[in-house]
């Protein structure tokens, strides 16, 4: 039996382990933390509960594909609540856009801002449907470890306008500045800069409408718990609190890992779900580091980081939906500061998660469990996160929401809190520069130009946000399918279970 080692139990590591265990491999997962999920953590502060990382669940069919490999169905394992609206977007001047994900209601909202934009919206959705079918349905599911594969699809990428930025692409359809924000901000969900992320990433409104935006009863932890259960049903498990200290290289091939306590474990393939840049610069012995990759990592653009306040509040803020996004008043300048500035921000943007709108168990009645995420520059750009600076930043966050965005009484209602800064991403999750989403998804850092699922060093594979296709739970689940398939091809089993390993159960369903 072939033995595969997976380093890290984030969504990417767990999904790869499930796929390979289903195929008949013996799989061992080592996780540095004492819990699964990686960025998808959970926190309890007295009576308040929080998801600490991802909160929006899209494309549940990708999870269903994993369930089927373990002989079950998503609908039998998790209670998913389709949100309505998907989210509320608040602008600096107090206006709000309710984003329903329902064509009729969305068109009504769009017409409130610019009646001429309704036909443009329909054309935009048709264009993004074309991109989705090709880019997400097919290209995302194949490895781009050969230049030929990339060159083969280049003409089509150009036809799909992949060379344009999301913002430019969206601006061709919408002239109203508010609507340009509404339909272009989505790359920020995966650490991308809307002003330079490829137009390929403008598919998010389409895919959200196709399958919905969900909340899993119990929060994202319920989804992580499901993946661990599936893995256990397939006969594998995770060793928690077991950091991998080093990758073992012998005859230019990665043959195993050394754990923190010095134990050596041998494997036919090693799949790293941890941060790619940290893996190459810290886990690979210096003599085995490909020079081009070290150089690439040093020059790469990294996604932004996040400051997140997890607050238990003694009252509710009724103007918030389950998901609320607060836009900066100067969108373009803000984004430039965030990605290319000196580490400081002249104004703040927010994503607020108020899970009690869907699941009352997250806070006592009449109280609010609120997660306030502020995108901030990664540590490579600077920024002061010393304890004093962090306290001042928290005050600024609370004041801005209270006095600029109408959350009256926010500061006074704060009963208990915890927070994450870029230092936590760096120190707890081992993220290079404390980036929250790994490498920035630009065209020149995507597909063939992103670290490959087959690392280039025999025996070593990557899975997760830092490899193809990229960050976000759907992207990471697709990367697991690509990486698992690469291992199946490179390290074949004498007696593989005759099991079809689908990339995705994503349907060709028509839009509602």
- Which one among 19, 22, 48, 54 touches ligand FAD, defined by CB under 6 A? 54
Which is closer to ligand FAD, CB of 32 or CB of 69?
32
Nearer Cβ to ligand FAD (55/142): 55
> Which letter does DSSP use for residue 87 in this model?
E
Size of the site for ligand FAD (CB under 6 A): 36
The residue among 164 and 381 lying less far from ligand FAD, judged by its C-beta, is: 381
- Let me know: does 191 contact 475? Beta carbons within 8 Å: no
| Least distance between ligand FAD and beta carbon 460 (Å) | 13
**Percent of the chain as helix, strand, coil, to the nearest 5:** 40, 20, 40
Residues in region 174-233 near ligand FAD by CB under 6 A = none
Our CB check for ligand FAD shows the closer of 142 and 303 to be: 303
| Distance separating alpha carbons of residues 406 and 72, to the nearest angstrom | 46
Shortest Cβ 440–ligand FAD spacing (Å): 13
366 φψ region: left (φ > 0), alpha (ψ -120 to 50), beta (else): left
With binding defined as CB under 6 A, does residue 30 bind ligand FAD? yes
Span between the terminal Cα atoms of the chain, in Å: 46
The alpha carbon of 508 is separated from its chain's Cα centroid by a whole number of angstroms, namely 23
* 464 exposure class (CB count in 10 Å sphere: 0-12, 13-18, 19+): buried
Q: Is 32 in the site for ligand FAD (CB under 6 A)?
A: yes
Residue keyed to tokens 């994450």: 420
Question: 4, 6, 9, 293: which one contacts ligand FAD (CB under 6 A)?
Answer: 9
| Nearest-10 crossing angle of helices 11-23, 220-233 | 20
Show the DSSP H helices in 160-281 as ranges: 166-173, 177-184, 204-211, 220-233, 276-278
Residue 200 · residue 346 · CB < 8 Å: no
The stretch near ligand FAD (CB under 6 A) out of 53-61, 76-84, 116-124, 147-155 is 53-61
The 266-305 contact track toward ligand FAD, x by CB under 6 A, reads -------xx--------x----------------------
Q: SS3 of 329, please? A: coil
Residue 10 binds ligand FAD, judged by CB under 6 A:
yes
Q: How far is CA 262 from the centre of its chain?
A: 32
Instruction: Indicate whether 383 belongs to the interface with ligand FAD (CB under 6 A).
Output: no
117 binds ligand FAD (CB under 6 A): no
| Segment interacting with ligand FAD (CB under 6 A) among 27-35, 138-146, 335-343, 377-385 | 27-35
Q: Candidates 5, 6, 11, 378: give the one binding ligand FAD (CB under 6 A).
A: 11
CB of 144 or CB of 439, closer to ligand FAD: 439
371: left (phi over 0), alpha (psi -120 to 50) or beta: beta
CB of 53 to ligand FAD, least distance (A): 4
d(CA 296, CA 281): 11
Selected from 38, 101, 312, 451, the binder of ligand FAD by CB under 6 A is 38
Length of the chain: 512
Of 252, 186, 145, 137, the C-alpha closest to 507 is 137
Which of these segments, 50-58, 247-255, 400-408, 409-417, binds ligand FAD (CB under 6 A)?
50-58
Footprint on residues 456-475 left by ligand FAD (CB under 6 A):
464-465, 471-473
Is 476 an interacting residue with respect to ligand FAD (CB under 6 A)? yes
Q: Rounded distance, CA 190 to CA 144, Å?
A: 20
The owner of tokens 């006074």 is 412
Contact characters 421-450, ligand FAD, x per CB under 6 A: --------xx-----xx-------------
Please answer whether residues 375 and 302 qualify as being in contact, where contact means their C-beta atoms are separated by less than 8 angstroms. Answer: no
To ligand FAD, the closest distance from the beta carbon of 40 in angstroms equals: 5
Binding site for ligand FAD (CB under 6 A): 7-13, 30-33, 38-40, 53-56, 243-244, 273-274, 283, 306, 308, 373, 429-430, 436-437, 464-465, 471-473, 476
């Amino acid at each position: 039996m072939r033995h595969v080692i997976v380093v890290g139990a984030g969504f990417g590591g767990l999904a790869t382990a499930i796929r390979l265990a289903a195929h008949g491999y013996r799989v061992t997962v080592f996780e540095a933390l004492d819990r699964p999920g990686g960025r998808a953590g959970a926190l309890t502060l007295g009576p308040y509960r929080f998801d600490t990382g991802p909160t929006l669940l899209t494309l549940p069919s990708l999870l269903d594909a994993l369930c089927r490999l373990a002989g079950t169905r998503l609908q039998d394992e998790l209670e998913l609540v389709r949100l309505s609206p998907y989210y509320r977007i608040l602008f600096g001047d107090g206006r709000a856009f309710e984003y329903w994900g329902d064509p009729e209601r969305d068109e009504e909202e769009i017409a409130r801002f610019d009646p001429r934009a309704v036909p443009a919206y329909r054309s935009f959705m048709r264009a993004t449907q074309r991109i989705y079918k090709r880019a997400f349905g097919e290209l995302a599911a194949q490895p781009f470890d050969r230049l030929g594969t990339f060159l083969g699809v280049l003409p089509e990428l150009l036809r799909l306008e992949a060379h344009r930025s999301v913002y430019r692409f969206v601006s061709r359809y919408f002239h109203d500045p508010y609507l340009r924000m509404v339909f272009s901000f989505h790359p920020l969900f995966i650490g991308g800069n809307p002003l330079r992320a490829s137009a390929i990433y403008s598919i998010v409104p389409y895919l959200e409408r196709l399958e919905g935006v969900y909340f899993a009863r119990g929060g994202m932890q319920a989804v992580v718990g499901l993946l661990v259960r599936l893995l256990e049903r397939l006969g594998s498990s995770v060793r928690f609190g077991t950091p991998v200290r080093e990758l073992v290289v012998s005859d230019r091939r990665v043959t195993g890992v050394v754990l923190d306590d010095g134990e050596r474990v041998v494997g036919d393939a090693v799949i790293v779900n941890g941060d790619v840049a940290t893996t190459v610069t810290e886990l690979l012995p210096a003599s085995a580091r490909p020079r081009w990759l070290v150089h690439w990592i040093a020059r790469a653009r990294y996604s932004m980081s996040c400051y997140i306040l997890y607050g238990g509040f003694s009252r509710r803020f009724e103007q918030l939906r389950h998901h609320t996004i607060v836009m900066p008043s100067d969108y373009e300048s803000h984004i430039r500061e965030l990605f290319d500035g000196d580490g400081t921000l002249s104004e703040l943007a927010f994503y607020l998660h108020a899970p009690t709108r869907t699941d009352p168990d997250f806070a006592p009645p009449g109280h609010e469990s609120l997660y306030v995420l502020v995108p901030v520059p990664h540590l490579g750009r600077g920024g002061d996160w010393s304890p004093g600076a962090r306290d001042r930043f928290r005050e600024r966050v609370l004041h801005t929401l209270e006095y600029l965005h109408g959350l009256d009484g926010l500061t006074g209602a704060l009963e208990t809190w915890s927070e994450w800064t870029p230092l936590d991403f760096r120190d707890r999750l081992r993220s290079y520069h404390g980036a929250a989403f790994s490498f920035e998804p630009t065209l020149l850092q995507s597909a063939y130009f992103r670290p490959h699922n087959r690392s280039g060093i025999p025996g070593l594979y990557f899975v997760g946000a830092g490899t193809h296709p990229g960050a976000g739970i759907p992207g990471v689940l697709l990367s697991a399918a690509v990486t698992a398939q690469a291992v199946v091809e490179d390290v074949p089993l004498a007696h593989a279970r005759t099991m079809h390993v689908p990339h995705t159960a994503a349907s060709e369903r028509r839009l509602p």
